[in-house]
Amino acid sequence: MTSEELSSIVAIAVSTVVFAGCGRAAPGHSFDASANAVDASANVSFRVSVMPLRQLDMVFMIDNSAGMSPKVLKMSAQFPKLIAALKDPSDGTLPDLRIAIIDSDLGTGGAYSSGSCGPKNGKIYGDLGRFQMIDATPCGVTDANATYLEYQDGQPVNYTGDISTVFACLASGIGNLGCGDEHQLQAFEFALVAKGLGNEGQQNMLRPNALLALVFITDEDDCSAATNDGMFGDLPELHSESASLRCATRAHRCNGRNLTDSPPGYPTTASFSTPFSTCSARTDACSNAIDGAPSTDTSQPTDCSPLRSVKRMAEEIKSLKAYPDDQVVVGGIFGWPISDQDMATATYEIAPIPNPNVADTAYPTVFDLWPVCYDPSHMPANGADFDASAAGWGAAPGLRLSAFVDEFGENGLKFSVCQSDFSTSMSQLGAKLAKQVQNRCLPASYSQYAGCTAHYLIPNSTGDYTRQPDAILSCSASPATPACYTLIPDAPPCATGEFLVEDDNTLPAGTMLEFNCQ
């Protein structure tokens, strides 16, 4: 296959992703994307499992660009806490697990002739979101054809030993030679949704009714862009700034204005500093950033963001599940202030740094986006001066990544990659997933509604659900009814104020009760 043919496939894959809004409608049930909105004047729906399906599919996106190795090691060291949190407290068993790893390297379509974003083994599109099992056999993987780790019915399926140890070994194999123009979010898109890239086989990893968890770790913001949009390459007018800075200045806004305006401008012409809390990701994606059609020349400054629409990529992930509000969790470990106190004082800053390319003597310094956070154990030594060593332990502000996590509401979790220790983030992520796998808790707001009715949602093998026509009553309201449910307030694993749903009926695994309330 020629590079031109592959370029066409990539463009087509970006523009023909199979997606159906925020969730597929189940047979006999019209899915309302706003079903979980809390509005006393409208019908509100809550869904909880009454026969939990303890299946969890996890896809980890690990940034494999320079400087990520110590951060990946910090994550791997605390990965056992995620696994421990997944165990059922009553018997210590784990859910059935599938764990895949992808990286952030999607190349730049041949825009560079060498370097981390140049061709690798003849490939100009990086790893295309393909599952990575590098040096898998020494890590303990026993199936030479395995593309992900699997644990089922209390036993490893395709590996030996402890799953945390095997995962840590595979994560370290990702390395740090990947392209520095990271496509973190598009890597998920290519891995799990896009057609025409040869990834259809690996997409079968996703079990129809299993909980889906996306986890990413990175120290730069997302730079997902169409390969043919002219953003990348050794552009003479951009020699005075870092290659990745163009992703920030064209995709961020601060104080209500786009950063393509000067300062900092595109190309960057002046330093720029403002409170981080005033900045956000741009949402005005160019048409080709949405559907792949090259209708906007984004090699030049534009009035739209040339990067892929964050909302569109989130909708594509949601389309994989019938009820994404209940079946998808996203956890991000990225450039973000560690605490609320840090958020209040954090600065978004673009300023000169020593040019990493020492051979480019015409530009001893270049403009770059400075870290928004630092590892507390590796703070800058010189105050206002740039500290390259501390920056290596820090992270640039992940505004697009934050916007992506926000698309998943309460099922989106943000953690700072600048934490000295990832024990809290791994434990909290594991606890969230453990609760979602059970998913037997009604929210506290349930008690505020009157006239709630409940119906069974019965899963099928394709991932859809059939809504049963007969209403299911509370056992307290109709104790003689064979099919009824019981609500228990403040019972584990539910949070204070929530209601645990008990149902003693024999039902298919994965069956949910849908409560429709006024």
Q: What is the pLDDT of residues 341-394, one digit of tens each?
A: 999 999 999 999 999 888 889 999 999 999 999 999 999 997 778 999 999 999
d(CA 226, CA 312): 14
354 - beta bridge partners? 365
Contact in structure between 244 and 220 (CB atoms under 8 Å) = yes
Q: Is the peptide bond before 493 cis (omega within 30 degrees of 0)?
A: yes
Q: Which residues of 150-177 are buried (b: 16+ CB within 10 A; e: fewer)?
A: bbeeeebebbeeebbebbbbbbbbbbbe
Q: What is the pLDDT of residues 483-504, one digit of tens each?
A: 888 999 998 888 889 999 988 7
DSSP assignment letter at 225: B
Q: Which residues of 98-135 are buried (b: 16+ CB within 10 A; e: fewer)?
A: bbbbbbbbbbbbbbbeeebbebbeeebbbbbbbbbbee
Looking up tokens 């953003």 gives 231
pLDDT band per the 50, 70, 90 thresholds, residue 292? low
pLDDT band per the 50, 70, 90 thresholds, residue 192? very high
Contact in structure between 458 and 512 (CB atoms under 8 Å) = no
Structure-token pair, residue 229: 């949009």
Contact in structure between 93 and 249 (CB atoms under 8 Å) = no
Q: What is the pLDDT of residues 300-356, one digit of tens each?
A: 778 889 999 999 999 999 999 999 999 999 999 999 999 999 999 999 999 999 998
Question: Domain segments of the chain: what residues?
Answer: 52-438, 442-517
414 - beta bridge partners? 332
Does residue 223 register a pLDDT over 60? yes
